[in-house]
Amino acid sequence: MKVLPFKIPKPENVTLFIQEDKGKIFYDKLHQHNEIQISVILKGEGTFIIGDYVGDFKPNDIFIIGENLPHVFKSDTTLTGNVKMLSAFFTKTSFGDHFFVLPEFRHFKPLFANAKIGFEVISNKIRIIELFLTLQSKSKFKQFISFLKILNIISESNINTLSSLIKLQKYTENEGKRMSAIFQYSLSNFNNNITLSEISSIANMTTNAFCRYFKQRTNKTYFDFLTDIKIGNACRLLSKKNDLSINEVAYKSGFNNISNFNRKFKALKNRTPSEFRKKL
């Protein structure tokens, strides 16, 4: 199966495709596709990468991912239980070339603009999830009506935009495999001491070439990207493993220096690890 680009396995003549993903893990290869994706996390936790943004996902999170925006959801296999996600796939022309251009849908314009860089829905989540859970059991017409209601609620909700990638282009298959290999290795080995020469060899590049290559495609250095993954793992441990000390959380997240961990954590989360845990 090609890693990038990825073709959504939907039947022919289907304008709106609803997919349920469940099992031990989500599809964990970096991929992109022509469709806009709205995903609701029902079970599971882990790390997601959307464009150049690294974050954590958990139940009741809702993500909107624009067309051709690279993304992956890496499940945390150390947590018990299966994962489950419901997703809707569509394009701006799924219902006709000019459907979403109609004056009645003018208020959807910011939604589609923000989808290009990906965003997370912050408010009205229960209403959206309740509608999402009924989509698969509805007739095509009622499914369509419910989907428009979901879009309308999302357009009125508070959101957090994610990626800073503005100019997007489709990856070639070879480039997609390379970026996927980099991300997969990083997500699986972040708690080890990954060196620049080590990750460069995964990309089959010299260290200088790799640094330029990664920065051009993610707008950040590799080690900034790796820090994002480490801090995300630390947040999950702080919230789920109360028996672990701050030092143990730092070590399990790939930090050998507690002061460096505290500094990096506060820079990304605007509070210290101890303050983060107390707030939870």
**Do 155 and 195 share a domain, yes or no?**
no
**Do 198 and 86 share a domain, yes or no?**
no
Residue that has been written with the tokens 């001491």 in this structure? 193
- Residue 240's pLDDT is what? 78
Domain extent, residue 198, equals 190-279
**Do 136 and 238 share a domain, yes or no?**
no
d(CA 47, CA 73): 6
Do the domain assignments include residue 262?
Answer: yes
Q: What is the pLDDT of residues 160-173, one digit of tens each?
A: 998 876 555 566 77
- One-letter amino acid at 266 equals K
Q: What is the CATH number of the domain that holds 269?
A: 1.10.10.60
- Residue 3's pLDDT is what? 39
Do the domain assignments include residue 12?
Answer: no
Provide the number of structural domains found in the chain. Answer: 2
**Do 205 and 130 share a domain, yes or no?**
no
Among 124, 144, 161, which residue terminates a domain? Answer: 161
Q: What is the pLDDT of residues 133-181, one digit of tens each?
A: 999 889 999 999 999 999 999 999 999 998 876 555 566 777 778 888 8
Q: Model pTM?
A: 0.78
Say if CB 165 and CB 117 are below 8 A apart: yes
Find all residues with CB under 8 Å of 212, minimum gap 6, and list them: none
